[in-house]
Amino acid sequence: MKAPQRAAGRTGRRPGYSGSREAILQAAGAQFAQQGYEGATIRGIAAGAGVDPALVHHYFGTKERLFVATMRLPINPAEVIPQIVAAGVDGAGARLATLFVHTMRELAGANPMIGLLRSATAHPDAARLLREFFTGAVLEKVAAALDVPQPRLRAALCASQLMGMLVAHEVVGLPPLVEAEHDTLIAALGPVLQHYMSDPLPGD
Amino acid sequence: MKAPQRAAGRTGRRPGYSGSREAILQAAGAQFAQQGYEGATIRGIAAGAGVDPALVHHYFGTKERLFVATMRLPINPAEVIPQIVAAGVDGAGARLATLFVHTMRELAGANPMIGLLRSATAHPDAARLLREFFTGAVLEKVAAALDVPQPRLRAALCASQLMGMLVAHEVVGLPPLVEAEHDTLIAALGPVLQHYMSDPLPGD
DNA sequence: GTGGAAAGTCAACGCCTGATGAGTTACCTT
DNA sequence: AAGGTAACTCATCAGGCGTTGACTTTCCAC
């Protein structure tokens, strides 16, 4: 039953390729997602990767930089946004809702976006990063792709609903949402996103 | 310039009524709201209240119990829900949106709900508390007051949008939302909440 | 082959955290 | 006037945190 144990008290470099760096990144992603920036610990991440805590610093320097290295979105907005908007504004709400719900359910429990949100609530830098990412990589892209008035406001409204669904579903765990079928959530969200994207707003 | 300093190195009970307990509760509320459960410290709270850290334990025992003592919602759902639903389902979306946006903007920066959310993301107990509170005190009440199919699911959908607006506005600080007029947000949110409350859903 | 760089561990540092217990002062009842 | 109780601070504890520097072992280029 003796599993090939990592870091078995042995010092010095291991023979062959160990994949420790990737193991650390993966463990860090899981811990940040589950416990947020403050809650996750270097020691815990190292244990999860089967590695000495000092090795984490060897690779990433500080916890802060490890966090930054870990952060990424589950989907690449640069390629997804055109896909959703391409066929025109009509039906874009339904397409976005479908993509979002499926991604959320598939990544349940290991959603990097949740890690970002968890961290953003306790770590101002993460909040700033999230804001800059959204305004830069999402809002602007959507604004460029969507031919409607006030595109940034509309994108932000969509983001508010999607973030909220994520928090209510993954963090708080509201039972009616967790137990609902994919199609129910999609049917509920679709018209909302469509409303934000194309219905008239004050200031149009 | 010598302000009447609290806890000026003097030991023993202070003459007169000091209001220390209330000062601690207020400081704790602010710290939990701004930094979440893990981020807030007993020492920081004590300093904010102008008091020795040990006095916090004297009154509340543990950090956990102080947190519970601090938690409350900005509005009392027991009296607000009937008010919103009373005049019928029609227009309830707009009424809820108006109440929500005004409350959110008035409490900006000191919203106890944000403290709960921040804490829920890092502290499973807070998440459980938030879930139990929502299912018990909100979802059930709404379910009883609303004469529509699947009331709990509808209430949860509304909650997801409101939580999301709170996170996007207060935590992430998306510029288009922060800069929008009250009326713009209300006009955007109203139809969404109305949709969740009264439009047909799969499973009706 | 030989030497430098990378991979890896170990032990320890200084700091901050929540919590405790003893001691001091004021208040309230009788 | 006396004594109990509540309010309050002080010094201190043990434990966990991020981080560091020295040391060992393997890899790779020349």
| pLDDT computed for residue A9 by the predictor | 63
CB B117 within 8 A of CB A121: yes
pLDDT of residue A180: 97
CB–CB contact B122 A121 (8 Å):
yes
Determine the Cα–Cα distance for residues A96 and A145; give it in Å rounded to an integer.
Answer: 14
What are the pLDDT digits (tens) for B151-163? 999 999 999 999 9
Q: Which of B109, B119, B104, B139 is nearest to B66 (CA)?
A: B119
**Among chain B residues, CA nearest to A138:** B174
Minimal Cα distance from A128: which residue of B? B172
Check CB contact under 8 Å for B177 and A156.
yes
From residue B23, how far is each of A194, B54, B161 by CA, in Å? 47, 14, 34
pLDDT band at A8 (very low <50, low <70, confident <90, very high): low
Q: Determine whether the interchain pair A201/B181 forms a contact, defined as Cβ–Cβ distance below 8 Å.
A: no
Q: What is the pLDDT of residues A71-86, one digit of tens each?
A: 877 777 778 888 888 8
Task: Kindly state the tokens that stand for A104.
Answer: 């959320």
Distance B53 CA to C18 C1' (A): 10
Structure-token match 């707003």, residue found: A201
In which band, very low, low, confident or very high, does the pLDDT at B1 lie, cut at 50, 70 and 90? very low
Positions in chain D where some atom is under 7 Å from a protein CB? 6-11, 16-27
Amino acid at B125: D
Interface-testing mutation among A167, A186, A193, A194, with chain B (most B C-beta atoms within 10 A): A167
Say whether pLDDT at B93 is over 70: yes
Instruction: Report the pLDDT value the prediction gives residue B163, as an integer from 0 to 100.
Output: 95
Q: Regarding predicted confidence, which is higher, B125 or B143?
A: B143
Tell me A74's DSSP state.
Answer: S
Calculate mean pLDDT across residues A135-154: 85
Whole-number percent of chain A with pLDDT over 90: 53
Q: Where are the alpha helices (DSSP H) in chain B?
A: 20-39, 42-49, 53-60, 63-70, 77-86, 92-106, 112-122, 124-133, 140-145, 151-166, 175-179, 182-198
Q: Which of B121, B166, B174 sits opposite A159 (nearest CB)?
A: B174
Phi then psi dihedrals of residue A123, to 5 deg: -130, 105
Q: Which of strand C's nucleotides are less than 7 A from any protein C-beta?
A: 6-12, 16-27
Q: Residue B7 pLDDT more than 60?
A: no
Beta carbon of A50 within 7 Å of strand D? no
User: For chain A, how far is it from start to end, CA to CA, in angstroms?
Assistant: 68
Q: Enumerate the residues of chain B whose CB falls inside 8 A of the CB of residue A158.
A: none
* Amino acid (one-letter) located at B31: Q
Q: Is the pLDDT of residue A201 over 90?
A: yes
Mean pLDDT of A124-152: 81
d(CA B134, CA B150): 16
pLDDT reading at A5 higher than 70: no
Task: Name residue B143's amino acid.
Answer: A
Residue A51: closest CA among A79, A16, A27, A78: A27
Task: Report CA(A61)–C1'(D18) in Å, whole number.
Answer: 11
How many helices and strands, by DSSP H and E, does chain A display? Answer: 12, 0
Contact A160 B139 (CB under 8 A): no
Distance of CA A139 to the CA centre of its chain: 16
**Rounded to an integer, what distance in angstroms lies between the CA atom of residue B37 and that of residue B59?**
18
Instruction: Tell if B48 CB is < 7 Å from nucleic strand D.
Output: no
In angstroms, the CA A143 to CA A154 distance is 9
Question: pLDDT digits over A21-72, tens only?
Answer: 999 999 999 998 888 888 899 999 999 999 999 999 999 999 999 998 888 7
Torsion of CA A183, A184, A185, A187, to 10 degrees: 80
